[in-house]
Amino acid sequence: MSHAMATMPESFFYFHLAGVAVLVLVVGVAHAVWFVFSRTEGRRARAMRLAATGTRWGLALGAMWTAILYGNGAWERADAHNCRRLPMPDASSRYEAEYCYLSEHKVLVRLYSARRNVLLARRTFANSGPVRLHWDRGVLVFDSGAAEGKGRLALPPSLRDRLLARLP
């Protein structure tokens, strides 16, 4: 059985996990509606109590989901290997880019300040071939085929990129 799970695509697992989550959500909502409308007296108080409890559970689950996703990404970034640095080609060279392989189909791109060697931004992207980083007029292009500019990193990096780069 463990061999069968190892050969399944990752999306297959997440699809079934989402299906179970939707089923639990539907049963929970049905139970909540039954709980609120089970008796006439105190209906408003039960509804308010249920709304407060649902909000707390929703926030807790959202925080756990965020922590799991971030932890998975940090674990994956810890296994970065075969890293290569690519300095900016012009004379000022304020930035250096680095790419590292994470797995067969993922690459980690990091952007550093060339003077202080401080991490300014990082992105993970899917890649099936050789990495082709290049500088294009104030933009680091790491996936030219990505839709809506998602394969580009504008220079200087945004505040969001700089803040996320400080996390492990």
The predicted pLDDT at position 21 comes to 86
Q: What is the pTM of this model?
A: 0.63
Q: Are 125 and 146 in contact (CB under 8 A)?
A: yes
Measured N-to-C along each axis, helices 43-78 and 10-37 cross at an angle, to the nearest 10 degrees, of 170
- Mean pLDDT, the chain, as a whole number? 81
pLDDT reading at 1 higher than 50: no
pLDDT reading at 91 higher than 60: no
pLDDT reading at 95 higher than 70: yes
Segments making up each domain of the chain, as ranges: 2-77, 80-165
| pLDDT tens digit sequence for 45-79 | 888 988 898 899 889 989 998 888 888 888 888 88
CA angle 150, 107, 85 (to 5 degrees): 100
- Rounded distance, CA 17 to CA 14, Å? 5
- CA 52, 54, 60, 63 dihedral sign is negative
> How many angstroms from the chain centroid is the CA of residue 42?
43
